Structure formats: structure tokens, C-alpha cells
Amino acid sequence: MADDLARVRYPFPHNWANQYRVKWEYLTEIITSEAGVEQRIALRSTPRRSISTSVQANQADFRKFMRIVAAAQNLPLVAPDRSWSTTVSDSASAGAISFQCASVDRLYIGQEILIGEGAEAQLAVIDDITGLTVIVVDPLGAIAADTPVYGAVTAQWPQQFSARASTNNLIEADLEFRVMPLKERDVPSSPGATFNGREVFPFNVNWAGAVEIDFSWPTVSIDYERGAVAVFRPIDFPSFTPKGQYLFASSADALAFVDFFKRMKGQRTAFYKPNETEDMRLVGTVSIGDSNFFVEGVELANDFSGHPVFNAVQIDLNDGSTLRRNITIIVTSFSNSRLTVDVPFDRAFGAADVRKISWLLYSRFATDGIEMSFETDQVAKSSVAIRSLPAPTDEFADLRSTLEGDDRETVPGDDRVVFTI
């Protein structure tokens, strides 16, 4: 940790007339074969992070802002991370080395925290956490109940930025701070539901905005500038990349989304994601022990039988439960399609019990970075793109030199991890 004397305290509150934004970014090398199969190598074990805040400084704060920028723009700063906060439950007197918190979910031993707002905030280092009691290394000043507690980040000022001076005593600026790598650590998060040994993407898109979908199925064309054009099709599967916005009612929900992204290490790790659409409609009923179900129309069997991408389904029931199955066979059955699943159903249901049946696609994030935009200290939103992949086969698994879940560090301590799939 940098010496406190080399860091400058950032004393200004965020101007909530503008969004508070946090970015996380991994770095993945993707090697794609002629047949479209990917090898993805994570070149960064911890994400780079940046924080964008807005400041409105008036009167004395205006002069303080100008002094800090003039004297310390090229120095590291200490700022609160407003993407998560808790509060002090009970007041603590001056000289105390512990206090009670409403939540300690994202606090950890050795972490720097800021207790309070602005220039009066106290910087402390957590020595221990017992239940909801936070013990710090050095004695504190007096703390009132309901005082906010933030994680403290060591960051770098932007090398260049512009500000708006509305009067001779009022200035506004949008600042992006680059958090110094390896100066913080993540609180471990637990995986959620899994399917075929992979996590399932548990978040629902916000249909208040449109979902943009990119469709891709590359071919190789050779044009000799005259005569026929030769077209080759080495890739035997299409790719779909929907981009939608996800809305979160609390910072805990927003950071759960970020935790999922971190467990995937950006583009590196694949997961299963159910389509947001109703892709088929059940016909008749399914009994306990059945391995088949019927859906409307023969088109499903004609178009998706043996498909390398569309080969698993998620059935969402009205009671809130979810069924996920691999599809082994799709055939026509009179005017409908019959789907055979790998595991018999353990409950009965009919068309009236089903809210939605969707394809369950093997997928990955389409970019290595995400941005979470906080409208308030709780409400946040993020727009992400997720790309479908062909489901892994046994033949492909046999070719792997290292199981996809195995992580190998090239040099101990370096911020680089290589994965082989």
C-alpha cells in the first residue's frame, strides 16, 4: 500500500444529478480456428477498474478543488467506492477501535475504509471482523449512528480533464479515476445454479428498452474477379449476440451481477443463458417419469434437430420453479414436434402450468468489460452483450490438454493467468 503521505484525500461528494459509474475490465486472448472453435486465454487474473464521479464545488469547495488539482493532480488519491456502502449502527466515542455496522458483506480484514462523508471522513484499516463488529487498527474519532461506511480505493487522477465554471465561485467536472491494480481484493462470491457443470446466467433483461441482436454465420468467399465466386462454409453453426439492459433495485443486486462477470473472467469462461423469449409452446401434459414433451408445429423438428447450438431448454413454471434439460432427439409427431430429454421429468405439468419455454444456450460475454451505472446509491443499470457458442461435445473435450476449469499461473505473483481449453 502506498504511503499515506503520497496520497491525497478526495473530499467531494458525488453530484447525483449525474450517474456514478464503475467499470471492470478483463483481458482475454481469443484464438479462433477455421471451424469457428475458440481457445480463450485469460491474460489478467484481476480486472482493471475505473470509477467515474461528478463533482459540483461551490464557494470554499471551489477553492479547495482548484488547490488540490493544482498541487496534486499527478499524485494518487484516496476516494470512497460508492458502488457499495453500509452504515454505523450505534454511535462510537472518540478513541474507540471498533464499531457496529448494519452489514459487513463486502468488508474484509486488511481493507481500507472511509467512515463518513467529504473532508470529515475518517480513513481506517480493518483489523478484524466479528459478527457485525468492525475492529480497526488505530483509534477513531467520534462516530455518529447512521454514518456511512465505504470501501476506500487508491486511484489515479485523470491526466487531463475539462471542467465547467458557471460563475467565479462554482465549478463542475466529470472525473474518471483509474483504480490502482492490486491495491484491493475481491470478496469471494459463491456460484449460483449450474447446468452441465456450468453456471446459469440468472438475470432478466429489462424490457423497457429494446434488445439488440447480432446474427453471425461467416462464410469464406473466393472471388477471381471474373466467372463464378467460390463459397466455402467451414463453420457449421450460427452465433447470436443479444445486447440488453439489466436493471437492479439495490447495490447488492448490481454487485451480484458484477460477481457473476468476475467469476467468468470476462469473455474467458462459458456459461448457460436462457433466451429471454418464448421459443416454443407446450402441447398436452407431461407426467412424472416422462422423457418426452410435445410443442406446437413441426418447424422445430425440421430446423433444430441435431443443432449444435440449440440443444438444451429451460422450462419456467408459473410457481417459480425451473426445469433444465438437454435435448437428445427432436422429431416430428403428426402436426407437432416431440423433444426427448436426457433426464426424465420429476414432476408433472401441463400447458397451463408453463410460463415460458426457452432455448438454453451455451454462451459467453461478448466483451471483457462491463460498466455499472448507478442512478442513486442503490438503483443501477448495465448493458451487456452475450454471445452464443456451440455446446461442447465429448469429442472436443478429449482434445483438451487441460480441463477448462484448471487455472495455471505463468509466474507467481504476476497479474496474468493462462487457461487452456
What is the distance, to the nearest Å, from the Cα of residue 31 to the centroid of all Cα atoms in its chain?
23
pLDDT over 90 at 184, yes or no: no
**CA–CA dist 313, 194 (Å, integer):** 14
Q: Residue 183 in contact with residue 153, Cβ under 8 Å?
A: yes
Average pLDDT on 340-351 reads 97
Local structure of 353: helix, strand or coil: helix
Average pLDDT on 50-69 reads 95
- Residue 182's pLDDT is 82
At 176, list the grid cell: 474518471
- Residue 356's pLDDT is 97
Average pLDDT on 259-272 reads 96
- Residue 394's pLDDT is 57
151-177 pLDDT, tens per residue?
A: 999 999 999 999 999 999 999 999 999
**CA–CA dist 335, 19 (Å, integer):** 53
Residue type, 152: A
- Residue 183's pLDDT is 80
Query: Which pLDDT band, with edges at 50, 70 and 90, does 186 fall under?
Result: confident
Average pLDDT on 385-396 reads 81
Average pLDDT on 195-219 reads 95
28-39 pLDDT, tens per residue?
A: 999 999 999 999
What residues contact 373, with CB distance under 8 A and at least 6 apart?
A: 19, 20, 21, 380, 381, 382
- Residue 378's pLDDT is 94
What residues contact 414, with CB distance under 8 A and at least 6 apart?
A: none
- Residue 96's pLDDT is 96
Q: Residue 353 in contact with residue 317, Cβ under 8 Å?
A: yes
CA angle 146, 152, 156 (to 5 degrees): 140
348-358 pLDDT, tens per residue?
A: 999 999 999 99
Q: Highest-confidence range of 181-185, 226-230, 295-299, 394-398, by mean pLDDT? A: 295-299
Residue whose C-alpha cell reads 443463458 in the numeric block: 273
Residue type, 229: V
272-283 pLDDT, tens per residue?
A: 999 999 999 999
pLDDT over 60 at 420, yes or no: no
At 84, list the grid cell: 457499495
At 223, list the grid cell: 472471388
The Cβ-side half-sphere exposure at 4, using a 13 Å CA radius, reads 7
With pLDDT > 70 as the criterion, what percentage of the chain qualifies?
92
pLDDT over 80 at 259, yes or no: yes
What is the distance, to the nearest Å, from the Cα of residue 278 to the centroid of all Cα atoms in its chain?
24
pLDDT over 90 at 185, yes or no: no
Local structure of 188: helix, strand or coil: coil
At 31, list the grid cell: 484464438
Residue extents of the structural domains in the chain: 4-179, 240-390
3-state percent breakdown (helix, strand, coil) of the chain, nearest 5 = 10, 45, 45
- Residue 103's pLDDT is 95
Q: Phi/psi zone of residue 17: left (φ > 0), alpha (ψ -120 to 50 degrees), beta? A: alpha
CA nearest neighbour of 258 among 373, 86, 87: 373
- Residue 187's pLDDT is 79
